[in-house]
């Protein structure tokens, strides 16, 4: 049995990677457990130095790493280059700020001395997705490893080349053997790894069903879990918004990575007063996107990561249209080789239509019209998801007030939702729990140990 890299732009097989045996997996878990003892005892300064070396290697290999991303999951080359650069930045962020985040925290109590020490949990399993195959991993690995944990990566089965490239970065940077290991195993073996006593915590970025399975397994084994799941982010356009800026940002937010992003704008909630103007300009901008070879600089719409994903979103679109949504543009696969789907807009989406309630993970935007600001807020919160969202308004104070009423893990005013190493990232409701990035992200996988001295 093997994992295969398949180019979604052409359907061609690139490479084959053998799956591990049960013995190989067990040996890797033992290696990580032994490494955890030595790594946690390694001076924090040395851990940070090695993370800086990893960042330097990422910079040196930016072009080749971006090529692996583009070939395995179809991302536009310029987007892949930006993703790789972001990986280097998160490594440097935690190498620079880790010592302050992990410093003992003195707390006044009835003791002669009392403080909180931040110690690693041990070995952390990361179950990661294909849509940002480098960034998703490094935003877990950088804080976890700097904190003194060892990391195990179970990557998505369609990006094994990315998984191997990431492990090689840490090896070449000088991290001790076993500190970071990519597990070449299928999803069916994840539960067994979580249950294993050599593993102490798990983090997953992925679908809601996968999150429920991992949460149930972690809970049954009393292990810490962080989940970053799906999202159906609202993109609210108020009547005083800069329409042109909202259109430009909306197209970027929805169609970046071919719409395959948890924090992409998916539900465009537009107040009636400016709806016609916004929709007309948005349609023109969407229709200007050019599908094609993701390595070509002129291409602005890449293929989807797999053919089955293309078929899935097409079925969601067809169902939504049959329920009353209006196909404003696109709304069909692109004929020919590769997993290409047209840049699409569904208009007049309302409750009871599939697109109103479900996450559409691809290049399809949906327009929901709202009577006024209050209705827009109500619609934004009328979702089982709560990852991110954004508000466009010419009045920043008004935008902030609306943002405070949106029940999500993040809201951006006059800008697209994005993850930033300096800011906590995560969701509420069916979008998961726990946080990545910022100081909050590092604290997820440390033991906040109270020490009290009489």
Contact (CB, 8 A) for 32 and 187: no
Contact (CB, 8 A) for 413 and 195: no
Compute the distance between CA of residue 449 and CA of residue 454 in angstroms, rounded to an integer. 16
Establish whether 262 is a catalytic residue.
yes
How far apart, in Å, do the first and last CA atoms of the chain sit?
A: 60
Compute the distance between CA of residue 218 and CA of residue 209 in angstroms, rounded to an integer. 14
Nearest to 408 by CA among 392, 438, 430, 441: 430
In this structure, the strands spanning 389-392 and 233-237 are parallel
* Alpha-carbon torsion, ordered 140, 143, 147, 153, to 10 deg: 20
**Greatest extent of the chain over all pairs of C-alpha atoms, in Å:** 75
Per annotation, catalytic residue among 48, 87, 91, 262: 262
Q: Tokens at residue 29, please? A: 């878990």
Residues in CB range of 95: below 8 A, 6 or more apart: 48, 49, 51, 52, 55, 142, 146
Instruction: Tell me the torsion sign for CA atoms 245, 247, 249, 252.
Output: negative
Per annotation, catalytic residue among 228, 359, 436, 444: 228
Contact (CB, 8 A) for 240 and 157: no
Residues in CB range of 371: below 8 A, 6 or more apart: 271, 272
Contact (CB, 8 A) for 242 and 208: no
In a 13 Å sphere around the CA of 319, the CA atoms on its Cβ side amount to: 14
Q: Which residues of 63-81 are buried (b: 16+ CB within 10 A; e: fewer)?
A: eebbbbbbbbbbbbbebbb
Give the containing element (helix H, strand E) for 371.
Answer: none
Place of tokens 């249209």: 321
Where in the sequence numbering do the catalytic residues fall? Answer: 228, 262
């Amino acid at each position: 049995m093997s994992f295969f890299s398949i180019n979604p732009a052409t359907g061609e097989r690139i490479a084959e990677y053998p799956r591990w045996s049960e013995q190989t997996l067990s040996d890797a878990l033992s290696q990580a457990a032994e490494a955890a003892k030595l790594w946690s005892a390694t001076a924090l300064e040395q851990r940070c130095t090695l993370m800086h070396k990893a960042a330097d290697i990422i910079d040196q290999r930016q072009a080749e790493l971006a090529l692996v991303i583009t070939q395995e999951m179809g991302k536009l080359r310029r987007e892949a280059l930006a993703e790789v650069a972001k990986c280097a930045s998160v490594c440097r962020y935690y190498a620079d700020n880790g010592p302050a985040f992990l410093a003992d925290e003195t707390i006044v109590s009835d003791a002669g001395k009392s403080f909180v020490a931040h110690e690693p949990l041990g070995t952390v399993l990361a179950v990661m997705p294909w849509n940002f195959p480098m960034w998703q991993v490094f935003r877990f690995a950088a804080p976890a490893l700097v904190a003194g944990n060892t990391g195990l990566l179970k990557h998505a089965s369609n990006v094994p080349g990315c998984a191997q490239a990431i492990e090689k970065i840490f090896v070449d940077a000088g991290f001790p053997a076993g500190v970071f290991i990519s597990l070449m195993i299928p999803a069916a073996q994840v539960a067994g790894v979580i249950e294993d006593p050599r593993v102490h915590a798990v983090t997953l970025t992925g679908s809601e069903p996968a999150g429920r399975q991992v949460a149930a397994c972690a809970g049954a084994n009393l292990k810490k879990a962080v989940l970053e799941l799906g999202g159906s982010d609202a993109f609210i356009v108020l009547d005083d918004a800069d329409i042109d800026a909202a259109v430009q940002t909306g197209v970027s937010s929805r169609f970046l990575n071919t719409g395959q992003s948890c924090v992409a704008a998916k539900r465009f909630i537009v107040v009636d007063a400016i709806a016609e103007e916004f929709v007309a300009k948005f349609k023109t901008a969407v229709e200007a996107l050019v599908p094609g070879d993701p390595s070509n600089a002129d291409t602005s719409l890449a293929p989807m990561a797999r053919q089955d994903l293309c078929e899935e979103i097409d079925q969601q679109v067809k169902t939504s249209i049959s329920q009353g949504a209006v196909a404003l543009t696109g709304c069909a696969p692109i004929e020919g080789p590769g997993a290409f789907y047209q840049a699409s807009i569904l208009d007049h989406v309302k409750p009871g239509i599939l697109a109103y309630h479900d996450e559409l993970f691809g290049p399809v935007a949906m327009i929901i019209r709202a009577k006024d600001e209050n209705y827009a807020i109500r619609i934004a919160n009328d979702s089982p998801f709560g990852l991110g969202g954004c508000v466009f308004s010419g009045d920043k104070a008004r935008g902030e007030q609306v943002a405070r009423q949106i029940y999500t893990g993040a809201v951006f005013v006059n800008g697209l939702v994005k993850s930033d190493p300096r800011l906590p990232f995560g969701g509420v409701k069916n979008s998961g729990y726990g946080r990545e990035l910022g100081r909050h992200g590092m604290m997820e996988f440390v033991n906040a140990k109270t020490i009290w001295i009489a």
